[in-house]
Chains A and B, each alone.
Chain A
């Protein structure tokens, strides 16, 4: 090897040593503490500077491809549970479209009348559904339930399933709304809302007798209480 080449080699080795030294100097430490802005995936990060126990969740690091097919659906509370009647209809309801449910209306009306018949039979008289406090007869009421099964949500003004103190109705559903008593009243309350309210020897069919108990609905976002722990 010629002398100048040896000199070049020594120079190169020295230069690389200097670079390494510089690198060490800049970090102050050869072992870099992982952080959420160091530009590399380290620690328990799931991507570069994201995910894991200390960084923000990763965006764009995951596969979101594929087709997702409906298995359950819900608009108003209790509709499928209460009105579909049979397991088969319930399963069909859950895989149907909101705007394609005309075929469910006759079943819903039949189920509504069946519930009344149970009490007609027990009292040995004839009991049919009576037009409810919203002025809806059986075909119209069950059409609204079957074919327009969504929560109506008003962007302006009070949002509630029904608030007896203000009269607002079908403008949303709050956590505290007693949707069971409201639904029972619409089903069994008749035009007065008190048709079968347990008074005057009538069955109690317009209230299930429970309220929200010790639940706290005054919390900030997400508005829900911590889970009950053992």
Chain B
């Protein structure tokens, strides 16, 4: 650090302290969505038990304390959760899988090319659709259709992180020590739940994957890879 930046850095550190609680991976990530039904907690994407399939999991509204808070948590009929798949490498969604709650079920649409890309979406009612009953804490419901599997409901939060210590680490309050050693560190999310939406889909439905974006910044030997993100959109 340059000495000329010292004041700025001290001010910056102060701001970090003042900005208060940080929660990751995306749990309660920003004040405008924290505590709302569009608040995404996490995104996972991995090969399924069937190696020809990819699993997409989004978690929302976390963290949920066990008991009545988890039991009363529910998906919002005005919210669309959208898995976005870019299979050309331009970071614009080529395919979407949308999830919208109606009644006691989650309705999935896609994968399909969306009528429009970007910040605003309509439900792809022209696409393949599947409904699965939303699970409860003791009634797990899954549905399969056309080689795909679907789930929506409360689950244990798979994310693990000593987030209280992290806040101290980035604020400087535990500097210069940093994080705690195993055994002393605490997993904040260990006893907490989330609402989850899971889809397992044959790769044959996702098109061929583009050149891995890491190649563009000099990381070598990377396999072709889709770019995948999840968004939560509210009905206007």
Question: What residues of chain A have their CB less than 8 Å away from a CB belonging to chain B?
Answer: 46, 51, 56-59, 61-62, 64-75, 77-78, 80-82, 84-87, 90-91, 93-95, 97-99, 110, 113-123, 126-128, 134-136, 140, 143-144, 147-160, 169-175, 178-180, 184, 196, 198, 203-205, 207-213, 215, 217, 220-230
Tell me if A90 and B30 are in contact (CB < 8 A). Answer: yes
Tell me if B226 and A215 are in contact (CB < 8 A). Answer: no
Tell me if B57 and A222 are in contact (CB < 8 A). Answer: yes
30 contacts between A and B (CB under 8 A): A46-B103, A57-B105, A68-B80, A68-B122, A69-B121, A72-B30, A74-B25, A77-B25, A77-B42, A78-B25, A81-B23, A82-B170, A90-B30, A94-B30, A115-B170, A140-B218, A152-B222, A153-B46, A155-B226, A159-B54, A170-B212, A173-B44, A204-B177, A208-B165, A208-B185, A210-B182, A210-B186, A227-B70, A228-B66, A228-B192
Q: With a CB–CB cut-off of 8 A, which chain B residues contact A120?
A: 1, 9
Q: With a CB–CB cut-off of 8 A, which chain A residues contact B70?
A: 227-228
- A227's partner among B49, B57, B118, B155 (CB-CB below 8 A) is B155
Tell me if B22 and A154 are in contact (CB < 8 A). Answer: no
Find the residue from B30, B185, B217 having the highest chain A CB count within 10 A: B30
A85 CA to B15 CA, complexed, in Å: 9
- B227's partner among A74, A152, A174 (CB-CB below 8 A) is A152
Closest to A176 in B: B158
Tell me if A159 and B42 are in contact (CB < 8 A). Answer: no
Tell me if B236 and A153 are in contact (CB < 8 A). Answer: no
Query: How far, in Å, is A92 (CB) from chain B's closest CB?
Result: 9
Question: What residues of chain B have their CB less than 8 Å away from a CB belonging to chain A?
Answer: 1-2, 5-6, 9-10, 12-13, 15-16, 19, 22-27, 29-33, 36, 38-40, 42-49, 54-55, 57-58, 64, 66-67, 70, 79-80, 84, 86, 90-92, 100, 102-105, 107, 109, 118-123, 125, 129, 131-133, 137-138, 140, 142, 149, 151, 154-156, 158-162, 165-166, 169-172, 175-187, 190-193, 196, 198, 200, 203, 206, 209, 212-214, 217-219, 222-236
Q: With a CB–CB cut-off of 8 A, which chain B residues contact A153?
A: 45-46, 54, 209, 225-228
- B57's partner among A117, A223, A228 (CB-CB below 8 A) is A223
Query: How far, in Å, is A68 (CB) from chain B's closest CB?
Result: 4
Closest to A62 in B: B102
In the A-B complex, list the 9 residue pairs whose CB atoms are closest, starting with the nearest.
A209-B185, A77-B25, A90-B30, A57-B131, A122-B175, A68-B233, A203-B178, A150-B227, A222-B151
Q: With a CB–CB cut-off of 8 A, which chain A residues contact B104?
A: 46, 51, 57
A180 CA to B23 CA, complexed, in Å: 12
- B175's partner among A56, A118, A225 (CB-CB below 8 A) is A118
Once A154-B223, A155-B203, A157-B223 are accepted as A-B contacts, the answer to whether A67 and B120 lie under 8 Å apart by CB is yes
Tell me if A222 and B142 are in contact (CB < 8 A). Answer: yes
Closest to A116 in B: B1
Once A221-B48, A225-B156, A229-B137 are accepted as A-B contacts, the answer to whether A140 and B217 lie under 8 Å apart by CB is yes
A-B interface contact total, Cβ < 8 Å: 397
A151 CA to B129 CA, complexed, in Å: 25
Tell me if B181 and A149 are in contact (CB < 8 A). Answer: no
Tell me if B155 and A225 are in contact (CB < 8 A). Answer: yes
Tell me if A226 and B13 are in contact (CB < 8 A). Answer: no
Tell me if A227 and B156 are in contact (CB < 8 A). Answer: yes
A152 CA to B226 CA, complexed, in Å: 6
- A155's partner among B54, B64, B222 (CB-CB below 8 A) is B54
A41 CA to B92 CA, complexed, in Å: 43
Query: How far, in Å, is B89 (CB) from chain A's closest CB?
Result: 10
Tell me if B225 and A171 are in contact (CB < 8 A). Answer: yes
Tell me if A180 and B24 are in contact (CB < 8 A). Answer: yes
Q: With a CB–CB cut-off of 8 A, which chain B residues contact A150?
A: 84, 86, 91, 213, 227-229
Once A72-B232, A74-B230, A122-B176 are accepted as A-B contacts, the answer to whether A117 and B184 lie under 8 Å apart by CB is no
Tell me if A70 and B119 are in contact (CB < 8 A). Answer: yes
- B1's partner among A51, A127, A230 (CB-CB below 8 A) is A127
Tell me if B182 and A211 are in contact (CB < 8 A). Answer: yes
